[in-house]
Chain A
Amino acid sequence: MINLFKKRQYVTLSQIEKKNENYFKPFIPDGIFEKCDECGKIILKEDIEKNLMRCPNCNKYFRMTAKQRIELIIDKGTFVEYDSNLKTINPLDYPDYDIKIQNLVKDTGINEAVITGEGKINGESCVIAVMDSYFLMGSMGCVVGEKITRAFEKATEKRLPVVVFTASGGARMQEGILSLMQMAKTSAAVKRHSDSGLLYISVLTDPTTGGVTASFAMLGDIILAEPKALIGFAGPRVIEQTIKQKLPQGFQRAEFLLEHGFIDLIVERENLKKTLYNILLMHRG
């Protein structure tokens, strides 16, 4: 009996036991819990959603889908979507690109990495574009560029302000040089809107990098950002590879950009709608 509690040098596990280890695990259906990659806590997904997609424990900001964002910002029942019929094609004949897009359209329920349209923020009308990082990292190909451009053109025509939520890894590699040209196209549309004396607010969310940073993201009259959002031209991995050294803590985070003078204000998620409304109000005219 005493021998039972004696510490043994080796523990042997039979193969059969190993195979059946799932049997002893509690049954957890997928998608109920989420692990916060900041504090490591396992949290009920419902609690994250109730907390505006933030960790209830450490307040880490999770990325929002474009639909969640519109729900958060735009008054209920006022959103009218633009150009949801545009479809991505495969200009470089990049292997399996068509299939990848088809699957993403099915999984996300949106036609591309940005939703554009018109709606009201506490009663104030504006044109809004929201990028979705769950759609191929929010990358900008021809359809994203076209939708953003049309949104600015529509706003210029209707004399409306524009609010853009950016979330993007940059220009979309799979569409090659045509993606690069979307940077010029969107920037030119922003310029026309600006020259008409109209307001453009860009809100940079995690992550905003590459060709999107180097075009419309950085062209807002007023540039807001969410706390700790990664914002930069080159991604941190690319910089580390180029300069062969580790990057300092907090590099390319929203707070870093604020300190260096490249954004106007960092706004907590629960204050975003109110802040946008206040800015819109002061430019009404």
Chain B
Amino acid sequence: MSIFEIEKAVCELENKIKELREFSRLQNIDLSNEIEILEKKLKELQKEAFENIRAWDKVQLARKIERPTSLDYIERIFDNFIELHGDRLYGDDPAIIGGIALLKGKPVTVIGQQKGKNTQENIKRNFGMPHPEGYRKALRLMKQAEKFKRPIICFVDTPGAFCGIGSEERGQGEAIAKNLFEMSTLKVPIISIVIAEGGSGGALALAVSDRVWMLEHSIYSILSPEGFASILWKDASKAKEAAELMKLTAQDLLNFGVIDKIIEEPLGGAHKDVDRVSKSIKQNLIDEIDNLSKLDIDILLQNRYNKFRKMGKFIE
């Protein structure tokens, strides 16, 4: 059974429980035993689904339209968020948002790729696929953070950097490269969290950080499974097989040492309880920024260099 079939069954069960409750209240009959049995079954079903979750299920979960976006987390985690716009060179890219905010009373710079909640909003946000001006805005805000000694928090959620005529004309490759280059020595702590989809260089451009975390059901990969299948097998419809092969789940990446931590999601996914996930991210951020801020800047930068330096597998 795929996760969506199970989710359908879960939904049906939830409705049945609701009906029984209503029935028992109206008719004044005690059905608490029956309800308890159903609730137990529900829990088991959900648990089973998420224990056997396949990579492809995660891809779909990460792309779910109900999946919380950067702004959902920002408004729950930070206070007084002020959005800042524009790269001062060309324009303002709605696919990347950024600004300043307070985290438990301390100023931080927050940046994130932003997807829409519906088609109309997604068109405005370009489905979370940034243009070069988005990456340049992000870099401008990071440099500003460095000047004012504010830690930087990045939310990663993009299928990839946009592939189009304008993005090539304005130097998509150069924009991403410059972010990797500059982020490697920014003199403030940087924490990146992959909240849903971390696609390719477009995701990495916000993730050369001291700590990279992933939500339990998010993905992070060299390319979308569709792109991977289309490049290697000339057949985008083999995305499902590609997803299983690519090792793109949070658990895989933790094993590879590419990420540092997995943040748990409630059963069913982050959209089932955004408040709880936000609370968990917030606590992790407060603790880790505290830790990182204690480090001498030279040590922080040396650690950041070493972190990426040791990534890669080969024989010598």
Q: Which residues of A contact B (CB under 8 A)?
A: 85-89, 91-92, 94, 142-143, 145-146, 149, 171, 173-185, 187-192, 194-195, 209-211, 213-219, 232-234, 238-239, 242-243, 247-248, 251-252, 260-262
Contacts and interface: CB of A to CB of B under 8 A. Distances in A.
Q: Which of A184, A187, A234: most chain B CB closer than 10 A?
A: A184
Q: Is the interface of B mostly helix, strand, loop or mixed?
A: helix
Interface residues of B, number: 53
Contacts of A149: 309
Interface string B296-316: 000000001100110111111
CB-CB nearest 8 A-B residue pairs? A213-B173, A234-B163, A142-B312, A188-B184, A187-B180, A233-B172, A233-B173, A214-B176
B58 to A, nearest CB: 14
A213 B248 contact: no
A91 B313 contact: yes
B168 A183 contact: no
A89 B313 contact: yes
A97 B309 CA distance: 24
9 contacts: A89-B313, A92-B247, A181-B312, A184-B208, A185-B309, A188-B308, A219-B177, A242-B163, A243-B164
B26 interface: no
B308 A232 contact: no
Contact of A214 (B172, B232, B253, B316): B172
A234 B199 CA distance: 14
B5 to A, nearest CB: 28
Interface in B83-138: none
A251 B168 contact: yes
B222 A179 contact: yes
Contacts of B316: 85-87
B201 A211 contact: yes
A252 B171 CA distance: 10
Contacts, number: 176
Contact of B168 (A91, A179, A234): A234
Contact of B201 (A183, A191, A216, A219): A183
A176 B221 contact: yes
A219 B179 CA distance: 11
A159 to B, nearest CB: 19
A87 B165 contact: no
Contacts of A171: 201, 222
Nearest to A194: B181
B245 interface: yes
Contacts of A233: 161, 163, 167-168, 172-173, 176, 201
Interface in B58-100: none
Indicate the member of B245, B252, B253, B308 with the most A CB atoms within 10 Å: B308
Interface string B216-257: 000011110001100110000000000001111000110010
Given A188-B208, A188-B309, A177 B168 contact: no
Contacts of A215: 176-177, 180, 201
Given A85-B316, A173-B223, A184-B184, A260 B165 contact: no
A185 B304 CA distance: 10
Given A173-B231, A176-B222, A177-B248, A232 B208 contact: no
